[in-house]
Every structure is written in C-alpha cells, then in structure tokens.
Amino acid sequence: MKFYEKTINEKHIYTGNYLEILNVYVELPDGNKSNRDIIKHPGACAIIPFLDNETVLLVEQFRKPLEKTILEIPAGKLDKDEEPLKCAYRELEEETGYKAESMTYLGSIATAPGFCDEIIHLYKAENLSLGAKCCDEDEFTQVRSFSLDEVKSMVKSGDIIDTKTISVLAYL
C-alpha cells in the first residue's frame, strides 16, 4: 500500500464513555518515525428522514464541544456488533419518534480521518409513521421539519454547519 505507515508501538491512553484514545509510533515510508494520536470511535448512522418528497426532519441539539445548539440530521452510535441498517431504524425512532417503512443506504463518510476512525453510514428514510418516542435520557432535543430547499439555503448561509447533514445532500 502506497505511503503505508507501519505501527512500531501502540500505547493506550484513555478509555472514555465511548471513545478510546491511543498514541501510536509509526514508521514512515522513508524509514523515519512519527507519532500519531488516534481516537477510536464505535461508528455511527445518520438518517435523512423524508416526511414527503420535499420535507425532511432535522434535530436541534446542544453540542457541548461547540457550546451551542445546532441543527443536524438524526444520528447515533452503533451498539456493539450492531448492523448499520438496524442502527438507522433504531436511531430514527429514538431521536424523532418516527418509524420508517423504507430505509435506503446512501454512502459512508469518514468525519475526521486525520485523527479519528469514525465512519458514519448515511441513510434516507421514507414512508414514515409515528412510533413510540424514546430519547436517550441525557439527550434534550427538538425535532423540526424543513423543505429540502430550506436546508440547502441554511447550509449556504452558515446556519447549518454539521458535516454529516451537509454531506448527505451530495448523495440525494
């Protein structure tokens, strides 16, 4: 593999709530050594739910790292050994209260490949009906509907900054 970096030594730094922090010495293609901090993430799904052909649901949520409330498509982490498709159905209902009859895989994105292995699997949900809303107990969120044109305008105006929400538009 071109430019491959061989692991010389890997040190475990920290086990978080769901992240693992590693520090890795690597051998570069020219034989020199370098050091990388690596965040291990369980992976996630994100879903763009269509109420009709033109209307989608977004979730408003406070994000502590940014110290602000932002708009995002519904998303959540994979449980251990969970299939991404199953996670997409589960997270859609947990985050919005809607069940989907149809869930279409769109693509997968690497959110921060320089330092983190997180992959988010993107899905389009259609034929929605209200299920049993059941949020994670430490999530305080509000579900809001927008036309797809409004979403695109909010991306261009800077009112939407979440990269999975912006990326999903490229697959539609």
Contact footprint for a second copy (CB under 8 A): 1-5, 13-14, 16-19, 21, 23-24, 26, 28-30, 32, 34-41, 60-66, 68-70, 72, 107-120, 137-138, 140-142, 152, 155-156, 158, 161-164, 166-167, 169-171
Is 137 a residue of the active site?
yes
Which is nearest to 6 in space by CA: 30, 40, 42? 30
Please list, in sequence order, all residues whose beta carbon lies within 8 angstroms of the beta carbon of residue 31, skipping any fewer than 6 positions away: none
Output the smallest distance, CB 56 to a second copy, in A. Answer: 15
Residue closer to a second copy by CB (options 15, 127) is 15
Q: Are 28 and 8 in contact (CB under 8 A)?
A: no
Q: Are 169 and 155 in contact (CB under 8 A)?
A: yes
Residue closer to a second copy by CB (options 86, 140) is 140
Residues assigned a catalytic role:
137
